[in-house]
């Protein structure tokens, strides 16, 4: 049995959210969601409820107002629904934003 310690470089293993701006990633998803909803006129009760949950921090673009990370929470919690919607509309920019947020932050 090896009694040696292996040094793990940051490149080799996930270690933290350091240098990842999850607030901006979540903002990008919501930006795209609101844009696609407007362009396609496909709003419904689900999206109306989702929009009502968007915190003021999003609109002011101030992550300090979102200390409990509500924006990231609602995006990650609803990631499958958001991604399905983006895929149905075929919006590549929106799909990219959701994929990035989900991979880096959710």
The pLDDT tens digits of the residues spanning 63-79 come to 999 999 999 999 999 99
* H-helix or E-strand spanning residue 97: helix 92-105
- Whether the predicted model's global pTM rises above the 0.85 cut: no
Please say whether the dihedral angle defined by the alpha carbons of residues 21, 25, 26 and 31, taken in this order, is positive or negative: positive
pLDDT higher than threshold 70 for residue 58: yes
Give the residue with greater pLDDT, 16 vs 11. 16
Report, as an integer, the average pLDDT of 84-89.
98
Mean per-residue pLDDT, 41-62: 96
């Amino acid at each position: 049995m090896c009694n040696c310690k292996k040094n793990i470089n940051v490149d080799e293993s996930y270690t933290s959210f350091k240098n990842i701006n999850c607030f901006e990633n979540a903002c990008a998803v919501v930006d795209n969601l609101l844009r696609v909803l407007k362009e396609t006129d496909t709003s419904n009760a689900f999206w109306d409820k989702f929009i009502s949950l968007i915190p003021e921090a999003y609109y002011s673009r101030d992550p300090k107002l979102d200390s409990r990370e509500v924006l990231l929470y609602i995006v990650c919690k609803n990631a499958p629904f958001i991604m399905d919607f983006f895929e149905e509309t075929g919006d590549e920019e929106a799909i990219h934003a959701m994929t990035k947020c989900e991979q880096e932050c959710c």
